[in-house]
Structure 1
Amino acid sequence: MTLQSLTMIRHGESASNAAAALLAGTDAEEFGDGTRDPDVPLTDLGRRQATAIGAWLAGQSDREWTVLCSPYRRARETASLALEFIGPAAVRIDERLRDRDIGTLQGLTDLGWRRRYPGEQARRERLGRFYYRPPGGESWTDVALRLRTLLPELDGHVLIFAHDIVVVMARYIIEGLDEQAILAIERNQIRNGSISRWARTGAGLTRVDYNATAHLDRLDGRVL
């Protein structure tokens, strides 16, 4: 059997997402409360986004999903809330779907890492965002390498709960894009609770939706 469709969902708004948005444009150098990145939970808005995803899933044609999820709490909580709408589903946790590790820059605002690691700004500008690897962290291409081992294993109709960079790099691989193309696409950030889909047509996968948020339109509050 081959991969018939791939549906990728970015987790709902997390506590770190909300904290970073609140401090954007201020003099703050850090955001969040020091919680380890894999343990960051959803906010109330994030949980509402997850239930909206579940309502969307319930409206899809009956199919047997193979469900995979990042091990990070925000993704697991999103999957748990959404999957309540379609009945019991076995969820396979796969570490290759985890968020990008940004090493020593974790928990710092843009201003914070520029002040504390001034040499890193010059290094990122020299290497470019695609290949830049923060101290102790990963580059975009490191995430792509993880996904290149995972995607060939998938078959049937696959539903994945993960993170923005995972969705971005999946598109990079599936659609055979280059560095400049994916950088241009990524300027429109993958939103919390968004849905991206590819379906098989002939010998390959064709994009159906990308960063879609219409299912979130009725929610009160921000859609990030």
Structure 2
Amino acid sequence: MRNLEALIATRHGESTGNIAHETARQTPGPKIEQVDIADRDADIPLSELGRAQAAAFGRRLAALPAAERPTVAVCSPYLRALDTAEIALAALADPPELVVDERLRDREQGVLHGLTEHGIRVRHPEEADRRERIGKFYYRPPGGESWADVILRLRAAYNDIDLDFPGERVLVVAHDAVVVLTRYIAERLTEPQVMEIESHPVANCSFSRWIRREGRLRPAEYNDTAHLAEPTAAPARTAAPS
């Protein structure tokens, strides 16, 4: 990304899918195999907490100096990301146009979609073993994507963003995998480095930013949640990827 002035990335606010995953993880007794999510992944909405988090993120953007606020917004087409972007941008006096790019969607889980860790081992033990053998970065579930697959489409998306919006400050509203792998791309990380970063969850509506210095984008903030501690916003909960 040679042309952008700055890049801000955030994960969507807490979704009903996040709540379902967390409930399944904490449920005592016999292990739950399938997370109870009625919606198609692209249609999973924000929770009430998620909407409050999006509003708090918007206030964080509005509090930036005028010369640091985003001039372009690009978003995943998934409902939880779209609603987060629209709520957050409403806090700006002169919000940029919202551009939707399907390459910023969440990672495709294929046959593992909606399964808990226990469910994967019960229903697809061979896949659990293969994932452990290959490693999370390159493992591709049947019908799904590896982290390397997501990187390929993100590189293409960021190349187009860089060419289409030279000199702009771009806001990306997407998913936890997108935020982590944006860091991988922007900071030219290795597989071990990004897997270590990924072991610490990206918080819903956290603030991550890269600013151009010495000819390239340099990290400024990552996974910052200070704005979510405001009295007007409910505190963030650590949520499972969705």
Q: Trace 1:1-224 onto structure 2 (pairs within 5 A).
A: 2-26=3-27, 27-62=31-66, 63=69, 65-87=71-93, 88-153=95-160, 154=162, 155=166, 156-218=168-230, 219-224=233-238
Gaps of 5+ in 1: none
Q: Tell me how far 1:181 sits from its aligned partner.
A: 0.7
Summarize deviations over 1:158-178 as a string: whole Å, max 9, x none. 001000000111111111111
Q: Distance in 1 between matches of 2:10 and 2:88?
A: 10
Gaps of 5+ in 2: none
Summarize deviations over 1:85-122 as a string: whole Å, max 9, x none. 11443111001100000011111111111100010011
Q: Tell me how far 1:30 sits from its aligned partner.
A: 1.2
Normalising by structure 1, we get a TM-score of 0.96
Q: Distance in 2 between matches of 1:149 and 1:89?
A: 22
- Which consecutive aligned stretches of 4+ in structure 1 deviate over 6 angstroms post-superposition? none
Tell me how large the CA RMSD over aligned residues is: 1.4
Q: Distance in 2 between matches of 1:221 and 1:22?
A: 18
Count of residue pairs the alignment pairs up = 224
CA 1:67–1:221: 2 relative to 1, 3 Å: closer
User: Amino acid of the residue matched to residue 83 of structure 1?
Assistant: L
Q: Tell me how far 1:25 sits from its aligned partner.
A: 4.3
Q: Tell me how far 1:33 sits from its aligned partner.
A: 2.7
Q: Distance in 2 between matches of 1:34 and 1:223?
A: 22
Q: Secondary structure at the match of 2:114?
A: coil
Summarize deviations over 1:136-160 as a string: whole Å, max 9, x none. 0000001100111122232311001
* Identity within the alignment, %: 47
User: Amino acid of the residue matched to residue 57 of structure 1?
Assistant: L
Q: Tell me how far 1:222 sits from its aligned partner.
A: 4.2
Q: Tell me how far 1:220 sits from its aligned partner.
A: 3.0
Assess if the C-alpha contact under 8 Å between 2:76 and 2:82 holds in 1: yes
User: Amino acid of the residue matched to residue 220 of structure 1?
Assistant: A
User: Amino acid of the residue matched to residue 45 of structure 1?
Assistant: L
